[in-house]
Amino acid sequence: MIAAGEQAPEFTLRDQDGEEVSLSDYRGKKVLLVFYPFDFSNLCSDQLSLYQEVKPEIEAKGVTMLGISIDHPFAHKAFQEKLGIDTTLLADFEPKGEVAKAYGSYVDAIGMANRTLVLIDEDGKVEWAHESPSPGEFPGPNVIFDALAS
């Protein structure tokens, strides 16, 4: 997993609307990358729904939240609509998991990202990172708020 103090790897991915989004678009702002395994799984649905509930508090701290999984932009759009969320979802679709691999979140044995949170500062450096013990557990919002408070 990527470590605090490292330069965050640059990327450009398509969002749920097919638009290109680059990490450099957020230079000068803090960004929270939320890597998660798949759209539509029960646990991912719970995680993204819960994060949506606390998103206003995260944004009030000057942080933009971006979800990233290996799903296609079309799946992201349907997932976003099903959950009723407005979090930007980025497709690490092709080459599969390239961004998750760059951040050390990809689990080769199962072909998906683990549940990893990466807070990037205004200058593009990793400020904090957290990886769940397994894709079957997601970090609660308290983990995010503890990181933002420190």
76-123 pLDDT per residue, tens: 999 999 999 999 999 999 999 999 999 999 999 999 999 999 999 999
Tokens of 134: 């397994």
List pLDDT tens digits, range 76-87: 999 999 999 999
Phi and psi dihedrals of 129, rounded to 5?
-145, 150
State mean pLDDT over 120-147.
95
For residue 125, being part of any structural domain is answered with yes
The one catalytic residue in 2, 21, 44, 120 is 44
CATH code for the domain of 71: 3.40.30.10
List pLDDT tens digits, range 15-72: 999 999 999 999 999 999 999 999 999 999 999 999 999 999 999 999 999 999 999 9
For residue 128, being part of any structural domain is answered with yes
Q: Which of 14, 21, 10, 1 is nearest to 125 (CA)?
A: 10
For residue 56, being part of any structural domain is answered with yes
Number of domains observed in the structure of the chain: 1
How far is C-alpha 116 from the chain's CA centre?
7
CA distance 136 to 150: 27
- Whole-structure pTM over 0.85, yes or no? yes
Q: Which domain holds residue 135?
A: 23-149
Confidence of residue 150 (pLDDT cuts 50, 70, 90): confident
Q: Does the active-site annotation cover 44?
A: yes
CA distance 149 to 105: 24
CA distance 16 to 126: 25
For residue 134, being part of any structural domain is answered with yes
